[in-house]
Structure 1
Amino acid sequence: MTAPLPAFAGHTYLFQVDNGAAFRNTYSADGLRLRWDGLGESAGQWEDVELHVAQVAQDIYFVSWTEKSGITVSHVMDLAAMTVRAFWTYEGEGGRVGELHTGTLKAEA
């Protein structure tokens, strides 16, 4: 039995993070990959990553990936409210650093 496609599959969203960061997130048609493009201060940065996805409720998805740099990112995406709760970790001075953020999504055509 195959899982149904996530509602974000094949769509692109502008993701505005509470810390001022912004990304254009483009999801593959099968919902298994993400290409994120940094905007603003992160312009020119991008990566295509493999996703781990679980639907946790109607229009709510847990999405996680690991980037080449070692950064790990986990999102809880609420597509009804167009919000995201994000947690990412990265190597910092003295060890691993974790940050919890909120953000908004805006669908792009």
Structure 2
Amino acid sequence: MTAALPGFAGRTYLFEVDNGAAFRNAYSADGRRLRWEGLGESAGQWEDVSLHVAEVAPLVYFVSWTEKSGITVSHVMDLNALTVKVFWTWEGEGGRVGELHTGTLTPA
């Protein structure tokens, strides 16, 4: 038995975060990879990352990855409401720092 593809597989979204950050997130056809591209202040930044994915409710996904810089990102993507809860962490002065944000998804 094969697992169903996640609902975001093969799709691209504009992801706008409550702190003003914006990204173009393009997911691979199998839903196992993401190419994110920074927009606005983050323009020119991008990375292709491997994803860890679990469906936690119909069309609601926990998605996590680690970037080359050491930043970790975890999303709870609700494709029903086109919203995201995101938690990212990075190495800061005195140890690991984390931030929790909300955002919206717009199909691109």
TM tier, smaller: over 0.9
Amino acid corresponding to residue 52 of structure 2 in structure 1:
H
Mind listing any 5+ residue stretches in structure 1 that lack a counterpart?
A: none
TM-score where L is the length of structure 2 = 0.99
Residue 84 of structure 1: CA displacement?
0.1
1:88 paired to 2:88 = yes
CA distance in 1, matches of 2:63, 2:3: 14
Q: Secondary structure at the match of 2:7?
A: coil
- Percent identity, aligned pairs only, is 81
Does 1:26 find its partner at 2:26?
yes
1:10-89 matched pairs, under 5 angstroms: 10-89=10-89
CA distance in 1, matches of 2:103, 2:31: 20
**Deviation for aligned residue 1:39:** 0.1
TM-score of the superposed pair, with normalisation by structure 1: 0.98
How far has the Cα of 1:102 moved from its partner? 0.2
1:8, CA displacement in angstroms?
0.2
What is the count of residue pairs matched by the alignment?
108
* CA RMSD in angstroms, aligned pairs only: 0.4
Distance (whole Å) between structure 1 residues aligned to residue 59 and residue 94 of structure 2: 38
- Provide Cα deviations, 1:49-83, integer angstroms capped at 9, x if missing partner: 00000000011000000000000000000001000
1:2 and 1:29 map into 2 onto residues whose CA distance is 15
Shift of 1:3: 1.1
Offset at 1:103? 0.2
